[in-house]
């Protein structure tokens, strides 16, 4: 039996209403199920956060967006042994 490790998926968002649901659905369709998803949102003014809350995710809000800092904030909030970083408009396949 393979020991599956927790994977933390950090997703940076800013007004990603058009893509965030597709992104999250695709993540939850992946074969590896031992995951946590952390949304690092840069004060979206659209429905990004509302749509993200339809999924089991943790949401962190930041006031100033610096790509590296946003990722680091997400990593600090994570518990996984492995880290995956995505943007809210990325839709994983396969």
Strand partners, 13: 41
Say yes or no to pLDDT of 83 above 60. Answer: yes
- Taking residues 6-23, what's their average pLDDT? 97
Say yes or no to pLDDT of 1 above 50. Answer: no
pLDDT category, 41, cuts 50, 70, 90? very high
pTM reported for the whole predicted model: 0.91
What pLDDT, on the 0 to 100 scale, is given for residue 68?
Answer: 84
pLDDT category, 93, cuts 50, 70, 90? confident
């Amino acid at each position: 039996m393979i020991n599956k490790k927790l994977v933390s998926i950090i997703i940076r968002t800013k007004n990603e209403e058009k893509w965030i649901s597709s992104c999250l659905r695709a993540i939850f369709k992946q074969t590896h199920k031992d995951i946590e998803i952390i949304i690092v949102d840069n004060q979206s003014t659209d429905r990004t956060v509302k749509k993200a809350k339809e999924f089991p995710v943790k949401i962190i809000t930041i006031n100033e967006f610096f790509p590296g800092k946003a990722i680091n904030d997400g990593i600090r909030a994570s518990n996984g042994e492995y880290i995956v970083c995505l943007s809210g408009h990325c839709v994983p396949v396969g």
